[in-house]
Amino acid sequence: MTFRLHAHGVAAILLDIEGTTTPIAFVHEVLFPYARARLHAYLRARAAEDEMRDALATLRIEWQEDARTQQEPPPWALADIPAAARYLEWLMDRDRKSPGLKRLQGEIWAEGYRDGTLRGEVFADVPPALRRWRAATIDVAIYSSGSVFAQKLLFSTTTYGDLTAWLTGFFDTAVGLKTAAASYRSIAASIGCEASRILFLSDAPAELDAAATAGCQTLLAVRPGNQPVETLPAGVVRSFDEIEL
């Protein structure tokens, strides 16, 4: 099915990453294992740095909340770096959208992107779509649970080149949870666009529901490797090539 969107109706397109612009396998089979394998060494090497102390202080607040709500996180005494690493692994095992975890994962990935071990991966239809949309004066922004820092690393190092020139904004969970309508209202205000003129693409129905509640237009991205959705909504795309302005 092809969706013909009129330029006067859609002023901005908001994109999820995992399962929308980028294969889920790249995130779960490349990025996550890369960070996990280097986590302990990374924390030990930077334990005395102020930025690491700040990151761990933020993470500690999350751990305290998990302990308070009886989520049974692993024990963590202050200044215990191995315990901090175990808590981070515990968060990874649960695929938690933890700001502290996402920050540290992004910093570890940065080393891999810098030395060429990692390169950002996107579906082949993404780069030409970004160029088409920007040529039509449509703003294109990213909204992902991964940190803005990690988002920029991914899109600047793809095999198709640096795609950040085609992107006008980046948002992470600092703006709010992706399953909360208020997050999409905040993004609309930030980019100076009415929510009704924003088209949000994601592989997660709960995120699409939240965006729709905020007044956004939505499309479900159905990509290879994505979790099957029991009831497909009317708006489904399997390639960005299906979206015509």
**Average pLDDT value for the chain:** 94
Is domain 28-115 given the CATH code 2.160.10.10 in the classification?
A: no
Q: Say whether 28-115 and 3-22+121-244 share the same fold.
A: no
The full set of domain ranges for the chain reads: 3-22+121-244, 28-115
Predicted local confidence at residue 138, as pLDDT: 96
Whether 228 has a pLDDT exceeding 80, the answer reads yes
pLDDT band at 4 (very low <50, low <70, confident <90, very high): low
Helix H or strand E segment including 57: helix 50-68
Q: What are phi and psi of 199, to 5 degrees?
A: -105, 120
Cβ neighbour number for residue 4 with a 10 Å cutoff: 8
Give me the mean pLDDT over the 213-232 stretch: 93
- Lowest mean pLDDT of 75-79, 114-118, 168-172, 200-204, name the range: 75-79
Fold entry, domain 3-22+121-244: Rossmann fold (3.40.50)
Q: What is the pLDDT of residues 111-134, one digit of tens each?
A: 999 999 999 999 999 999 999 999
Residue 224 exposed, middle or buried by CB count within 10 Å (0-12, 13-18, 19+): exposed
Answer yes or no: are the C-beta atoms of 2 and 241 closer than 8 Å.
Answer: no
Classified as helix, coil or strand, 158 is strand
Alpha-carbon span 118 to 150, nearest angstrom: 12
The answer on pLDDT for 85 being more than 80 is yes
In this prediction, residue 147 carries a pLDDT of 94
Within 8 A by CB and 6+ apart from 153, the residues are 106, 109, 110, 113, 120
